[in-house]
Structure formats: C-alpha cells, structure tokens
Amino acid sequence: MVNIGHTHNAVSALQFLNPPHVLILEARFYDDINDMLMDGVTDTLNNVGATFEKITVPGALEIPVALQYAARRQNGRCFDAYVVLGCVIRGETTHYEIVSNESARGIMEVSIKHDLAVGNGILTVETIDQALDRADKNHQNKGGAAALAALSMLSLKQACGGV
C-alpha cells in the first residue's frame, strides 16, 4: 500500500523498480513563486534519487498541451512521472476561473488518457501572500507535495503492474 503524505517518511518509504525519471512542466509566470515551488520539488525528487528534466511553458493553460506532447514522446519509457507547476492568482475578471478550471481539467484528461503519474502543483490562490505561503518549502511546500503525489502515483502504478 502506498501512503500518501507530506512528510520525509512518506518520501523515504516509496520504492521504485528503477530510480524515477521525472518531467517537470513549469508555467513560469511569477518567478519568485516558481523558484520556491521548484525548491520543494527538487528536494523531494533528490530524496528518492530521481533524475529530472524541466520544460517551461508560457502559462497554466499551456501545461495540459505540453503534458500531451510529453506523453506522446514516450516511445518506450521516456519519463516515469510528471510534476506540473505554476500559479494562478485571482484578478478582477473571470480569467482566473477559466485558467484554473481548464488547466486542471486538461491535466486530468491527459493523465487518464495516457496512464500518467502526475502531481499537480499549480497554485490557485486569491493573493500573492497565499501563493508565497503555499510555495515556501518551510511552510506549506506545495511543490514538494506535488512531487510526492507524482512519486506516490508512480509507486502505486508500478505496484499494480504498470510500467
């Protein structure tokens, strides 16, 4: 059984057939927030000996398309798991709802269609202060949590006979 949690013990308890190779898809819009999210992700991935590559896309709406491209690249075994990162902060228009909902829907659709282990670290917040608190690895560490989710799903997938 895979125990999904946010502690170092949860990370160290994960076991893999081989060291995982992870793709990080980053919607880089708020540099400081993305840097903090990446710190959490890389700490978690390094704790399990995972290797990773990072691709940056313009915004959260482009993440599902980039994930689709990456999934199609899998001739054999290119990436074992995926972490998606970004931040959407509410503004004065309905754009926030569109970006938040459609990026999440698209990520889930591609994940299911291609049987991918994905951790979603796209923050959807009301204020910059909320984003900073969630991104900071010494506070809520949502980047680390997204990496842990991806690794946990990979471990579950492998335990269930998936590659």
Cβ neighbours, 10 Å, residue 52: 18
Break the chain into its structural domains and give their ranges.
Answer: 16-47+58-155
Predicted confidence (pLDDT) per residue in 93-133, tens digit? 888 899 999 999 999 999 999 999 999 999 999 999 999 99
Residues annotated catalytic, as ranges: 95
28-40: average pLDDT: 95
pLDDT band at 75; cut points 50, 70, 90: low
**Residue 160 burial by CB count (10 A; 0-12/13-18/19+): exposed, middle or buried?**
exposed
Mean pLDDT, residues 12-16: 75
* Per-residue pLDDT band at 74 (split at 50, 70, 90): low
Quote the pTM value.
0.90
Indicate if the pLDDT at residue 3 is higher than 50: no
pLDDT at 29 over 60: yes
Give the pLDDT confidence score for residue 76 in this predicted structure: 54
In which band, very low, low, confident or very high, does the pLDDT at 87 lie, cut at 50, 70 and 90? Answer: very high
Pick the closest to residue 50 from 17, 28, 27 (CA basis).
17
What distance in Å separates the CA atoms of residue 121 and residue 149, rounded to the nearest whole number? 9
Q: For residue 97, give the H/E element and its range.
A: helix 95-114
pLDDT band at 5 (very low <50, low <70, confident <90, very high): very low
Maximum average pLDDT range among 2-16, 117-131, 148-162: 117-131
Does residue 107 contact residue 25 with C-beta atoms inside 8 Å? no
The arithmetic mean of pLDDT across residues 48-75, rounded, is: 91
What is the CATH architecture of 16-47+58-155?
A: 3-Layer(aba) Sandwich (3.40)
Compute the mean pLDDT over every residue in the chain, rounded to the nearest whole number: 89
